[in-house]
């Protein structure tokens, strides 16, 4: 059944590979069911409700992506977007019900954009140098996350960042896990990333770093619809907040989809296959998620770990959704694993390397093509923001072309979004 529906052989894959890929993606992004509730509960949203809303958003968005778009991309509440949500509630003194109203409206607008050709047109309009810059920038971004989460690289007041304490147990475990995974990959072991994490988890358990409190299964909290306050959005004139949610979600998820489909070799003539359904996945997840109590959803860069493990079809996404559904009952175990970054950090570092492939396709001899790609690659990891890197790329690319006398080569949409991004960064930045 799966073979025919997802055309596994046609994509050079198998059910076993897709399952391993789904498990790999799940393990690298399952932290969201812990981190997202922690961030939103800090401004008063009930932790249990955010937990369930997070899982529901993942299941809905990722199943749409799997069954209808048939892409190996997972959807979940976006990191950065949840922090922005909390900052709006905290800084402006608004109730979280009103801010959920802004998310709901942004989600509806997102759906409208997704059923039209607007988002697909954006993909076509983006020049290759920006596409490859986005892919490579995200690669460096997630590799840096892996280095930072593992303690290999740490903050330093004098030099901003520096080498961490390599005698720290968690850092030692991450380094051991990294070399184990590299060895498995060098030996062309199928599912090397997954098995690397599994072996690392076992070692972590015997080192006393991976701990369980004795409870493995627990009943999930009952999901509840929040009484979102849409009228408050208009009475407080929160149009800029709606626009910020819409803009950041649009380009975060579009950039990620470009990166992951490009990495998987699924991009055809500069287009994402079944683009409308792919775009609907995060739009619907955002809208439904706001009703249950979570911030906007987007495509997850961690999906690249599943692609690196061999995932090429929507079956990978279906497996991810199924595992998140099971996660509702295994929150104690998930909490323990996700609290030990050394298990997933090696995968993020290795996948970052995979995503550098596009650098070879950038025309580095043409400065007006090279610099916008370079600035994207540079700013994504340094600002810890995919959307910021994309914004700066969209601003610099048309400017470089104008002053190079090649203004006619730029698609009108690139000019439009260059202006929009510039206004967004000046008047309502999300960080």
Instruction: For residues 223 and 369, state if they share a domain.
Output: no
Per-residue pLDDT at 334: 67
Residue 132 covered by a domain: no
Q: How far apart are CA 377 and CA 372, in angstroms?
A: 9
Contacts of 212 (CB under 8 A, 6+ apart): 332, 333, 336
Bridge partners, 153 (sequence order): 163
Instruction: For residues 239 and 284, state if they share a domain.
Output: yes
Element spanning 135, H or E: helix 128-150
Are the CB atoms for 312 and 264 separated by under 8 Å? yes
Residue at a domain's end among 306, 339, 372:
339
Task: Write out the two tokens for 379.
Answer: 């700013």
Cα Rg, the chain, nearest whole Å: 21
Bridge partners, 154 (sequence order): 162
Residue 352 covered by a domain: no
Residue at a domain's end among 284, 311, 339:
339
Instruction: For residues 325 and 399, state if they share a domain.
Output: no
Instruction: For residues 11 and 119, state if they share a domain.
Output: yes
Cβ-based burial of 254 (10 A; exposed 0-12, middle 13-18, buried ≥19): buried
Cβ atoms within 10 A of the Cβ of 415, count?
17
Tell me which residues of the chain have a pLDDT lower than 50. none
Q: How far apart are CA 207 and CA 162, in angstroms?
A: 26
* Angle, alpha carbons 129-131-321 (nearest 5°): 165
Cβ atoms within 10 A of the Cβ of 301, count?
28
Q: How far apart are CA 361 and CA 271, in angstroms?
A: 17
Cβ atoms within 10 A of the Cβ of 180, count?
19
Are the CB atoms for 305 and 87 separated by under 8 Å? no
Q: How far apart are CA 389 and CA 44, in angstroms?
A: 31
Are the CB atoms for 135 and 306 separated by under 8 Å? no
Contacts of 357 (CB under 8 A, 6+ apart): 135, 263
Per-residue pLDDT at 108: 94
Beta strands in 259-332 (DSSP E): 297-299
Alpha-helix runs per DSSP H in 153-224: 169-186, 192-206
Residue 344 covered by a domain: no
Bridge partners, 405 (sequence order): none
Residue 23 covered by a domain: yes
Instruction: For residues 275 and 304, state if they share a domain.
Output: yes
Instruction: For residues 94 and 230, state if they share a domain.
Output: yes
Instruction: For residues 268 and 372, state if they share a domain.
Output: no
State the total domains in the chain. Answer: 2
Q: By residue range, what is the domain housing residue 60?
A: 2-127+215-339
Per-residue pLDDT at 102: 92
* Angle, alpha carbons 422-423-427 (nearest 5°): 125
Per-residue pLDDT at 402: 95
Q: How far apart are CA 32 and CA 45, in angstroms?
A: 16
Per-residue pLDDT at 56: 95
Residue at a domain's end among 308, 339, 370:
339
Cβ atoms within 10 A of the Cβ of 44, count?
12
Instruction: For residues 301 and 402, state if they share a domain.
Output: no
List phi, psi (to 5°) of 189.
-75, 125
Q: How far apart are CA 412 and CA 329, in angstroms?
A: 49
Instruction: For residues 10 and 112, state if they share a domain.
Output: yes
Are the CB atoms for 170 and 340 separated by under 8 Å? yes
**Residues 265/267/270/272 CA torsion (nearest 10 deg):** -160
Q: Which of 248, 284, 327, 378 is nearest to 25 (CA)?
A: 327
* Angle, alpha carbons 193-197-200 (nearest 5°): 135
List phi, psi (to 5°) of 99.
-70, -35
Residue 351 covered by a domain: no
Residue 141 covered by a domain: no
**Residue with tokens 């009108």, as numbered in its chain:** 412
Are the CB atoms for 381 and 355 separated by under 8 Å? no
Element spanning 108, H or E: helix 96-115
Per-residue pLDDT at 55: 95
Instruction: For residues 323 and 362, state if they share a domain.
Output: no
Q: How far apart are CA 5 and CA 8, in angstroms?
A: 8
Residue 256 covered by a domain: yes
Instruction: For residues 241 and 390, state if they share a domain.
Output: no
Instruction: For residues 366 and 322, state if they share a domain.
Output: no
Cβ atoms within 10 A of the Cβ of 108, count?
16
Residue 205 covered by a domain: no
If you ran DSSP here, which 8-state letter would residue 361 be given? G
Task: Write out the two tokens for 337.
Answer: 């694993």
């Amino acid at each position: 059944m799966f073979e025919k529906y997802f055309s596994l052989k046609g994509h050079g894959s198998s059910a076993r590979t897709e399952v391993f890929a789904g498990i790999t993606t799940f393990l690298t992004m399952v932290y969201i069911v812990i981190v997202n509730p922690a961030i939103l509960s800090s401004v008063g949203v009930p932790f249990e409700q955010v937990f369930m809303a997070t899982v529901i958003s993942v299941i809905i968005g990722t199943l749409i992506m799997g069954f209808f778009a048939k892409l190996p991309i997972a959807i979940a509440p976006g990191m950065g977007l949840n922090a922005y949500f909390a900052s709006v509630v905290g800084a402006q003194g608004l109730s979280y019900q009103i801010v959920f109203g802004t998310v709901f409206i942004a989600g509806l607008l997102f759906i409208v954009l997704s059923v039209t050709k607007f988002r697909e047109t954006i993909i076509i309009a983006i020049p290759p140098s920006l596409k490859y810059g986005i892919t490579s920038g995200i690669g460096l971004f997630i590799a840096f996350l892996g280095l930072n989460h593992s303690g290999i690289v740490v903050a330093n007041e004098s030099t901003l960042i520096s080498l961490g304490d390599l005698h720290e147990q968690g850092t030692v475990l991450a380094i051991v896990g990294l070399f184990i995974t590299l060895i498995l990959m060098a030996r062309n072991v199928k599912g090397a990333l997954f098995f690397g994490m599994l072996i690392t988890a076992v070692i972590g358990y015997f080192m006393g770093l991976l701990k369980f409190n004795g409870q493995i299964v627990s009943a999930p909290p009952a999901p509840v619809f929040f009484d979102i306050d849409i009228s408050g959005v208009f009475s407080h004139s929160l149009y800029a907040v709606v626009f910020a949610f819409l803009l950041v979600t649009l380009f975060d998820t579009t950039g990620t989809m470009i990166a992951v489909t490009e990495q998987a070799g699924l991009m055809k003539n500069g287009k994402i296959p079944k683009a409308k359904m792919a775009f609907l996945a995060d739009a619907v997840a955002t809208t439904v998620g706001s009703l249950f109590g979570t911030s906007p959803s987007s495509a997850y860069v961690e999906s690249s770990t599943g692609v690196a493990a061999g995932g090429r079809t929507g079956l990978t996404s279906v497996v991810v959704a199924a595992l998140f559904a099971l996660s509702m009952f295994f929150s104690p175990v998930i909490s323990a694993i996700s609290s030990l970054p050394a298990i997933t950090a090696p995968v993020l570092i290795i996948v970052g390397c995979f995503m550098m492939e596009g650098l070879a396709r950038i025309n580095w001899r043409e400065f007006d093509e090279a610099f916008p790609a370079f600035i994207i690659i540079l700013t994504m990891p340094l600002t810890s923001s995919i959307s910021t890197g994309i914004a700066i790329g969209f601003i610099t690319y048309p400017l470089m072309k104008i002053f190079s006398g090649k203004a006619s080569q730029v698609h009108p949409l690139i000019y439009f979004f260059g202006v929009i991004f510039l206004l967004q960064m000046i008047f309502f930045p999300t960080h």
